[in-house]
Amino acid sequence: MKTVNLCWCMALVMASCAPKQPTISQIEWGRVESKTVNLYTLANSNGLSVDITNYGGIVVAFRVPDRNGEQANIVLGLGNLDDYLAGHPCLGCIVGRYANRIAGACFTLNGVEYSLVANTGKNHIHGGVKQRLDLKVWDASASNDENSATLTLHCTSADMEEGYPGNLDVEVKYVLNNDNELQIHYTATTDKPTVLNLTNHSYFNLTGCRENVLGHQVMVYADEYTPVDEENIPTGEILPVDGTPFDLRRWTTIGDCIKALPRGYDNNYCLKTQSAQPTLVAELYDPQSGRLLQTSTTEPGIQFYTSVNLNGSKKNENGIAMTSFMGACFEAQHYPDSPNHPNFPSTTLNPGDTYRQTTIYKAGIK
């Protein structure tokens, strides 16, 4: 009779059943002005993965399962680098130096007026035209451990690029962990007083980007918002959401809200975040797939945008045209036009101080 080493067999079984360590891999995706652009894939032990490129820090894909275990990409993205280089509506990128709008394309800091590029009417949006952060090729490094895979991106923005003072040094860490969280950690320093407002501009679509998001349900845990004028510039008021279409404190179907807001949402909500630990501020749910996305952040505001300005000129990986309401954005941020409103949380960054932000997008099933 043949003797079997049961201890050795059990060890083999346990090893084969043990979860795999999260991984990170890369492929060369192209070149921009002699700089190499790579596409990095972070994968966790549960089978979730995210594709990120060091061109603009763009989240190209975020693949998560539905209630039946079927994987699909839940962010709007393009198929290759050339499509991004041809221009796009900030799909998945790191936005800065100043996310959102600055009225009149100017601000005053310490008695000095700074003029920016007017790239949305007479106003400034998302950091400018030629030298904003989403157009830069960032330096990148990768690491992983038993719980997460991390892509670290770094870039600099020179003094007076797009009109902003100070040499700015920025680091962004994308972390995909085994809790199915895509964490984004930002830090930045400057050598002159400046203003700074960074965000990620991913468009989420929990159907797997196959249909629009009008059937999605949303919650935003905010009692107040900043109303805007006809140019989407804050009036300076902070108003309660009670009795308005902006009250999203209960599960609300996006399509139902569009009846009162034909152009959908493009609004900043005032959050109750008060510490360095991220707070749950918004949730998005697709009843068809069962997919749930939770957004947590340390930022005082979040821009909820339902992509009404997508015009169908770009197609996603499914070959479907990106039209109005194809995505929902949860842009963690400081308030729009804060440098021109002293009653808003300050966006001033001084030498010797460090800008810090953490935002988390967690995927799950509801």
**Dihedral pair phi/psi, residue 211, rounded to 5°:** -135, 175
Q: Which of 162, 181, 299, 331 is catalytic?
A: 331
Q: Rounded to the nearest 5 degrees, what angle is found at the Cα of 202, between the Cα atoms of 196 and 208?
A: 170
Between CA 303 and CA 232 the distance in angstroms is 12
Between CA 105 and CA 122 the distance in angstroms is 7
The answer to whether residues 38 and 56 touch, using CB atoms and an 8 Å cutoff, is no
The one-letter code for the residue type at 313 is S
Cβ-based neighbours of 306, under 8 Å, separated by 6 or more? 213, 254, 258, 264, 265, 266, 325, 327, 328, 329
Which structure tokens are listed for 105? 């394309």
Which residue, 263, 285, 280, is CA-closest to 205?
Answer: 285
Between CA 118 and CA 124 the distance in angstroms is 5
Between CA 308 and CA 332 the distance in angstroms is 19
The answer to whether residues 296 and 278 touch, using CB atoms and an 8 Å cutoff, is yes
DSSP 3-state of 265: coil
Pairing of strands 181-190, 168-177: antiparallel
DSSP 3-state of 253: strand
Q: How far is CA 100 from CA 54, 86, 197, 212, in A?
A: 22, 22, 8, 24
Which structure tokens are listed for 122? 């007479």
**Rg value, the chain, Cα:** 21
Indicate if 331 belongs to the active site. yes
Concatenating the DSSP letter of every residue in 131-178 gives SSGGGSB-EEEEEE-SSEEEEEEEEEE-TTGGG--S-EEEEEEEEEET
Q: Which of 201, 216, 334, 341 is catalytic?
A: 201
Q: Known catalytic residues?
A: 201, 331
